[in-house]
C-alpha cells in the first residue's frame, strides 16, 4: 500500500473507531470514569454485576444520528442499588437494559426529586426495570420518573412496587412537552391512602384553565397497568391540554383513566378490565374539546362519568370557597381562582363499549352540586356529541343516569347548551334515568351467544408478554423473576390500605385531598 493510501486508510479507520467507540465498564470506578469520558456516538457497555450509588449523569450529549448510549452488556444483569439514579442532562442520550432494584435515592429539595430525570431533550430510557425502589418511610417524596425536558421517551420498561409519596411518572408544568411513556408494564403498585400517587400524572398548560395551543402533548401508549393501584383514584391523570392516552390495558386496578382538567385530549382504544376489583373504575372527564372514543370498560364500579363543572364567576352563596392557586395568578389568570372541575364542553364520546359494570354505565353531570355551597359544581356538560356507544347490562337498574339543573335561586340564570345523543344502544336489562338522553338510545335484547371474549375481538388486550423489557419476559417465563410477586412493598396491614398512616391528621388530609379530585 502506498504511503498516500495508507494515510487515507488510517484517517478513515480512526474516524470509524471514534464513531463507534465502546467503553467497557466492570466496576463502580470505571462506570463513573466512563460517564465522564463518553461522547457523541459512544457506547458505555456495562458488564454484569451489582453497582452501588452510581449517579448516571452525562458529561456531554450525542446527536440525532450518533446518540450517547449506556447499555448493559447482558440486559437485566446490571443491577443498580443504593442511591443509584439517572439524569438525562444532555440531549440524545440513551440508557438501555439496566435493573434498578431495592435502592432508594436521597431525599431532595423541591417537588421534582426523582430516580430518573429527563432534564434535556431526546433522551430514551428503554428495556429497563425498576423494582421496589422505595425509601424506608413512605412520607419521603420522590417520583421514579420525572420529565422537565421535551421529546423524551420511556419505552419497554417495567415498574413494580412504588409505595411512597408522589406519582410514579410525572412532568413539570413548564417547558415539558412531547414526552412519552410507551409499551411499559406497571405491576403491583400498592394502594395507599394518599392523594397524588397516580401511576402517570401529566401537568402542563391547561392545569390552571389556560386556553390556546399550548399543552403538554404527552403520549401514554400501549402500556399495561396490572394491579397498579397507587392512590386508588386515578391511574392516568391528565391535567393539561393536548395529550393522548392510546391503546393501554388496565387489569384489576383501583382508579380510573381521567381527564381531570385540560382540553383537546384524546382517550382512544383503551381496555379496562376491572374484574370486580375493589375501587376499579372506568373513564372520567372534565374540560373542553376532549375526545373519548373506541374504549372498552367492564367489571368496574362504573363505566363513564362526564363530570359537572364548577362555576367560579361569582359567589352564589356566602358559603362559597374559591379554589385559589398562587401559581395560577401568573398564568393569564389574574386572580388565581381556578375551577376545581372545568365545565365539559364539546366532548366527543363515541363508539365506546361498557359491559357489566356495578353502577351506571354512563353518568352525565356526575358530582352535580357536590360539596355545595363551598364548591359550586352546577355547570352541566354542554354541546357534546354522545353517539354510537354500546352498553351491555345483565342486571336491573339504571344504566344511564344524569343530573338536571335544579332551577332554584341562586342558580336559575345558569343554563347549558343541549347535548346530542344519537345511535346509542343498551343490550340487556336496565333503564334510562335521564330524560334528555332518551331519544338517543334504544334498548335491545342481549344475544344469547354474547360473550366478553367476542366483544373484545376488535380490541388489543395487552398481556405481560406484550410489554416491558424482553429480558423480564424471559426471566418470568423461566420462573426466575420472583420479585414480581414479592409483596414486601405492600403495607403490613393491607386491609387498611395505608402504610404508616397511623397519624390520623395525615390520613384525614389525604381523604380530603382525594375528594377534591
At residue 15 the predicted structure's pLDDT band, cuts being 50, 70 and 90, is very low
Closest CA to 131 of 150, 156, 159: 159
- CA-CA distance, 216 to 409, in Å (whole number)? 39
Q: Which of these, 286, 289, 292, lies nearest to 307 by C-alpha position?
A: 286
Question: Ramachandran region of residue 416, left (φ > 0), alpha (ψ -120 to 50) or beta?
Answer: beta
Residues facing residue 393 across a β-bridge: 428
pLDDT at 386 over 50: yes
Rounded average pLDDT over 42-53: 98
Average pLDDT of span 77-102: 98
The region of weakest confidence among 84-88, 160-164, 333-337, 345-349 is 333-337
pLDDT value of position 505: 39
- Please name which of 49, 35, 125 lies closest in space to residue 81, comparing C-alpha atoms: 49
pLDDT-above-70 percentage for the chain: 88
Among 15-19, 57-61, 344-348, the range scoring the smallest mean pLDDT is 15-19
**In contact, 472 and 157? CB cutoff 8 Å:** no
Query: What is the average per-residue pLDDT within 470-484?
Result: 98
Q: Are strands 22-25 and 55-57 parallel, antiparallel or unpaired?
A: unpaired
Q: Is the pLDDT of residue 17 over 70?
A: no
Please name the residue that has the C-alpha cell 458505555.
44
Phi-psi region of 340 (alpha: psi -120 to 50; beta: other; left: phi over 0): alpha
Report long-range pairs for 441-448 (Cβ below 8 Å, ≥24 apart): 441/400, 446/392, 446/394
Q: Which three cell numbers stand for residue 264?
A: 383537546
In 82-222, which ranges are continuous DSSP H helix?
none
Q: Where are the beta strands (DSSP E) in 165-254?
A: 169-171, 180-182, 185-189, 200-202, 219-221, 224-228, 234-239, 244-246, 249-251
- What residues pair up with 355 in beta bridges, in sequence order? 298, 392
pLDDT at 30 over 70: yes
Q: What is the pLDDT of residues 231-242, one digit of tens each?
A: 999 999 999 999
In this structure, how many other beta carbons lie within 10 angstroms of the beta carbon of residue 184? 29
Decide: 248 and 185 in contact? Cβ < 8 Å: no
Q: What is the pLDDT of residue 510?
A: 46
- The percent of the chain in helix, strand and coil, each rounded to the nearest 5, is 15, 35, 55
Q: What is the mean pLDDT of the chain?
A: 90
Contact 401, 395 (CB under 8 A): no
3-state secondary structure (DSSP) of residue 211:
coil
- Give the mean pLDDT of 184-194: 94
| pLDDT tens digits, one per residue of 349-376 | 999 999 999 999 999 999 999 999 999 9
Out of 78-87, 162-171, 182-191, 389-398, least confident range = 389-398
Amino acid at each position: 500500500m502506498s504511503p498516500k493510501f495508507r494515510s487515507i486508510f488510517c484517517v478513515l479507520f480512526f474516524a470509524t473507531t471514534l464513531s463507534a467507540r465502546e467503553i467497557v465498564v466492570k466496576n463502580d470506578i470505571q462506570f463513573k470514569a466512563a460517564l465522564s469520558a463518553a461522547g457523541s456516538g459512544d457506547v458505555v457497555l456495562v458488564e454484569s454485576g451489582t453497582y452501588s450509588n452510581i449517579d448516571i449523569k452525562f458529561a456531554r450529549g450525542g446527536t440525532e444520528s450518533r446518540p450517547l448510549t449506556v447499555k448493559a452488556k447482558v440486559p437485566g444483569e446490571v443491577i443498580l442499588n443504593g442511591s443509584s439514579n439517572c439524569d438525562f442532562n444532555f440531549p440524545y442520550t440513551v440508557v438501555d437494559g439496566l435493573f434498578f432494584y431495592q435502592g432508594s435515592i436521597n431525599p431532595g429539595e423541591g417537588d421534582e426529586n426523582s430516580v430518573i430525570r429527563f432534564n434535556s431533550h431526546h433522551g430514551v430510557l428503554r428495556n429497563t426495570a425498576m423494582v421496589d425502589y422505595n425509601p424506608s418511610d413512605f412520607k419521603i417524596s420522590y417520583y421514579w420518573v420525572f420529565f422537565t425536558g421535551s421529546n423524551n421517551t420511556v419505552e419497554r420498561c417495567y415498574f413494580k412496587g412504588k409505595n411512597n409519596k408522589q406519582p410514579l411518572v410525572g412532568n413539570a408544568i413548564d417547558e415539558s412537552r412531547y414526552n412519552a411513556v410507551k409499551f411499559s408494564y406497571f405491576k403491583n403498585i400498592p394502594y395507599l391512602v394518599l392523594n397524588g400517587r397516580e401511576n402517570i400524572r401529566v401537568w402542563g398548560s391547561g392545569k390552571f384553565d389556560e386556553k390556546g395551543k399550548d399543552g403538554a402533548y404527552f403520549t401514554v401508549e400501549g402500556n399495561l397497568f396490572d394491579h397498579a393501584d397507587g392512590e386508588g383514584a386515578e391511574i392516568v391523570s391528565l391535567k393539561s391540554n393536548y395529550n393522548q392516552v392510546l391503546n393501554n390495558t388496565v387489569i384489576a386496578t383501583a382508579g380510573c383513566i381521567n381527564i381531570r382538567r385540560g382540553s383537546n385530549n384524546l382517550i382512544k382504544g383503551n381496555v379496562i378490565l376491572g374484574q370486580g376489583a375493589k375501587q376499579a373504575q372506568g373513564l372520567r372527564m372534565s374540560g373542553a374539546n376532549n375526545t373519548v372514543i373506541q374504549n372498552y370498560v367492564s367489571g368496574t364500579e362504573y363505566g363513564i362519568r362526564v363530570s359537572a363543572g364548577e362555576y367560579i364567576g361569582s359567589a352564589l352563596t356566602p358559603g362559597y370557597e374559591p379554589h385559589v392557586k398562587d401559581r395560577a395568578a401568573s398564568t393569564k389568570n389574574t386572580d388565581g381562582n381556578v375551577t376545581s372541575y372545568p365545565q365539559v364542553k364539546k366532548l366527543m364520546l363515541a363508539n365506546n363499549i361498557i359491559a357489566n359494570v356495578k353502577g351506571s354505565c354512563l353518568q352525565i353531570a356526575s358530582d352535580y352540586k357536590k360539596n355545595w355551597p363551598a364548591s359550586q359544581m352546577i355547570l352541566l356538560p354542554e354541546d357534546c356529541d354522545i353517539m354510537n356507544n354500546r352498553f351491555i347490562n345483565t342486571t336491573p337498574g339504571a344504566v344511564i343516569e344524569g343530573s338536571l339543573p335544579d332551577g332554584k335561586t341562586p342558580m336559575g340564570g345558569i343554563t347549558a347548551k343541549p347535548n346530542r345523543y344519537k345511535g346509542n344502544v343498551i343490550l340487556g336489562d336496565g333503564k334510562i334515568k335521564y330524560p334528555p338522553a332518551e331519544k338517543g338510545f334504544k334498548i335491545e335484547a342481549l344475544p344469547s351467544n354474547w360473550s366478553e371474549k367476542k366483544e373484545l375481538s376488535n380490541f388489543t388486550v395487552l398481556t405481560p408478554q406484550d410489554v416491558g423489557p424482553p429480558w423480564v419476559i424471559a426471566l418470568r417465563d423461566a420462573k426466575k423473576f420472583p420479585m414480581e410477586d414479592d409483596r414486601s412493598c405492600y403495607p403490613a396491614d393491607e386491609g387498611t390500605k395505608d402504610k404508616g398512616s397511623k397519624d390520623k391528621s395525615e390520613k384525614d388530609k389525604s381523604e380530603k385531598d382525594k375528594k377534591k379530585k
